Amino acid sequence: MKLKFQLARKAGAWWIYRRKWFVRLFWLNCILWFWPVYLGHGIYKEVIAPQEVSYAQITKLETSAPVPMPDTIKDTVAYYHSKFGVKVPLEKIYELIECESHGDPNRNGDYQERLLSRGLMQFQPLTFFEQAKLYGIKNADINDWRDQVLIGMMMIRDGKINQWTCWKIIN
């Protein structure tokens, strides 16, 4: 019994005398490991997995000559219509765009709630960014009509055309 008490007392005394050194080592470790982050230097590099590479990056690497993108709205819609093999006729898509925004890429729609539909295809921000994430389109801009046409054509290809209210009016 006396031996156990003496060992416990010695262990406690050992910790008391060396505690300040452990605290100093802890803070020294923190400084050595985290000072680059504190100063704004990144110590980790982002690794892109193959499934995170977008389709546009893959086609850009595979093609030898750059393919010019169409400049007009109708040409862009026709380009993505043929590229994605959309089953809906091209004229119906033009009617959908005309009904939604009257062909104005800068149009902001009227909506009962605080969510404003925007752009050529009148996407609501939540829907637009959700679909961009689903299709793996990084840095999608809701105010860019080319991004809206790209995501809109992908949605139409996948049978999500019923999400537009004008589609119900057209048909």
- Would you say 149 and 131 are in contact if contact means Cβ atoms under 8 Å apart? no
Of 4, 171, 148, whose CA–CA distance to 89 is shortest? 171
Give the C-alpha separation, 120 to 149, whole Å: 8
Query: Which amino acid appears at position 81 of this protein?
Result: H
Pairwise CA distance, residues 142 & 165, whole Å: 19
Q: What's the pLDDT tens digit per position in 124-156? A: 888 888 999 999 888 888 888 889 999 999 999
What pLDDT was estimated at residue 92? 92
pLDDT in tens, 104-123: 888 887 655 556 788 888 88
Dihedral of alpha carbons 115, 119, 122, 128, sign: negative
Instruction: Label residue 23 by pLDDT band (50, 70, 90).
Output: confident
Q: What domains appear along the chain, each with residue ranges and CATH number?
A: 67-170 (1.10.530.10)
Work out the percent of the chain whose per-residue pLDDT is above 90. 13
C-beta atoms surrounding 101 within 10 Å: 23
Q: How far apart are CA 129 and CA 148, in angstroms?
A: 10
Q: What is the pTM (predicted TM-score) of this model?
A: 0.58
Query: What average pLDDT is seen over the chain?
Result: 75
What mean pLDDT do residues 87-108 have? 88
Return d(Cα 31, Cα 40) in angstroms, integer.
14
Percentage with pLDDT > 70 across the chain: 62
